Amino acid sequence: MPDGAEPVTVNLLGAIDEVSAEAWDACAGAGNPFVSHGFLNALERSGSATAEQGWQPQHLVVPARDGGLLGAAPLYLKSHSYGEYVFDWGWADAYERAGGSYYPKLQACVPFTPVTGPRLLVRPGAEAEAVSAALVAAMTEVARRYQVSSLHVTFCEEAEWTRLGGAGFLQRTGRQFHWENRGYDSFDAFLGSLASRKRKMIRKERRKVAESGITLRALRGAAIEPRHWDAFHRFYLATAEKKWGSPYLTRDFFHRLGEALDERVVLVVAEDRGELTAAALNLLGEDALYGRNWGALGDYRFLHFEACYYQAIGSRSSMGWPGSRPGPRANTRSNAATCRCKPTAPIGSPIRASAMRSNPTWPKSGARSPARSPAWPATDRSARNRAERASGRACGAPRSHQLLQAFRRRR
């Protein structure tokens, strides 16, 4: 056991299924479902977060003498900046203009998930402090050995954000909007706390949905059948296409998610005259209901808010849970830290979103990392990058426009 005197061993994994769910979850805890072995493994095994998609797993683990783990960190070698919800295209462009290759970069995060949660997963015990320090040191050492442009830790908890800042990471902040249960025992009790105008507006919206003939049900665990996941994936693809988005998640991911997280999955389904037409995916934590994905086949007025917000708030109130976090819009602090591999000015913002650490020198002209960068956003106007895209320059992973095409072909 680490006691501050003996060295701590940190191993690097190429896939999360190289360790058992029991060992990983002993470090992750039960509070946040997104850092669980089941969620991360579903992403990898389904082909949603893999090296082919620009997410090469490089997870860190600290083995224990009892055969389990003392600590872990979900870490990815990334060849683009998609699916992060923290946008660094400007930094990527500046790095390229300075003569370097911004990609690959290292990212400690949960893919496609803008939910604040632990990134340094440590099993409770007297050695926790040493294990946390070892994970931070290991991240920076991996970044140094891979010669990546930067190391990012996004949507981390505030204590981690503070620790990373003390380790030399640049600190960033973001803002979200979370609903908190202030003692409401029903949805009507929540409405009673609002101004009359807002109360009337919400009741009108809910009445319109009911009058349209649409019925909603909240399914949980075994009540979610394979047909529900197949339908939800269709809804997910249709909504991504309509919003010009990229459907990162495969159909297999949703099936695996349901099997792995079971009762922690809550799927709100909407039916129009008996036909499934829309759904909202939620995950249960110890003290929050996390709303993540939504999809619908048609345009139904007010249905989005009913399925994603009002149903979630109603279930939270009736069950007496503290809060609901229906997606990335929430008025609370989200933290992140970044380890940049070049000097940058400190970044200030009202709230913490990420932390980043940098190298002490600018990249030399023409310098390249071992794995070469793929993805440049379509909006990049650099003549050099346009020429590279036109010539189809080979690189270590698909380029950004190829990735987008691949995402859309998954249907």
Which pLDDT band, with edges at 50, 70 and 90, does 185 fall under? confident
Tell me if 250 sits within 8 A of 232, measured CB to CB.
no
Provide the CATH topology of domain 179-326: Aminopeptidase (3.40.630)
pLDDT value for 262: 96
User: Is residue 63 pLDDT above 50, yes or no?
Assistant: yes
Distance CA 87, CA 360 (A): 23
pLDDT value for 315: 79
Provide mean pLDDT across the span 227-251.
Answer: 93
Distance CA 61, CA 346 (A): 30
317-348 tens-digit pLDDT: 555 555 555 554 333 445 666 554 332 222 22
Counting beta carbons within 10 angstroms of the beta carbon of residue 49, is it exposed (0 to 12), middle (13 to 18) or buried (19 or more)? buried
Mean pLDDT of the chain: 81
What is the H or E stretch that residue 388 is in?
Answer: helix 383-391
For CATH 3.40.630.30, the residue range(s) in the chain are 11-177+332-372, 179-326
pLDDT value for 378: 32
Provide mean pLDDT across the span 161-189.
Answer: 90
Q: What percent of the chain has pLDDT over 70?
A: 75
122-173 tens-digit pLDDT: 999 979 999 999 999 999 999 999 999 999 999 999 999 999 999 999 999 8
Mutual orientation of helices 251-261 and 226-242 as an angle, nearest 10°? 130
pLDDT value for 192: 95
pLDDT value for 338: 56
CATH homologous superfamily, domain 11-177+332-372: Gcn5-related N-acetyltransferase (GNAT) (3.40.630.30)
Cβ atoms within 10 Å of 364's Cβ, excluding its own: 9
Distance CA 351, CA 348 (A): 8
Enter the tokens of residue 158: 């505030």
270-311 tens-digit pLDDT: 999 999 999 999 999 988 899 999 999 988 999 999 999 999
pLDDT value for 323: 54
What is the H or E stretch that residue 62 is in?
Answer: strand 59-63
Q: Which residues contact 144 (CB under 8 A, 6 or more apart)?
A: none
Phi-psi category of residue 320: left, alpha or beta, with phi > 0 → left and psi -120 to 50 → alpha: left
Distance CA 308, CA 272 (A): 17
Which pLDDT band, with edges at 50, 70 and 90, does 398 fall under? very low
Distance CA 360, CA 187 (A): 54
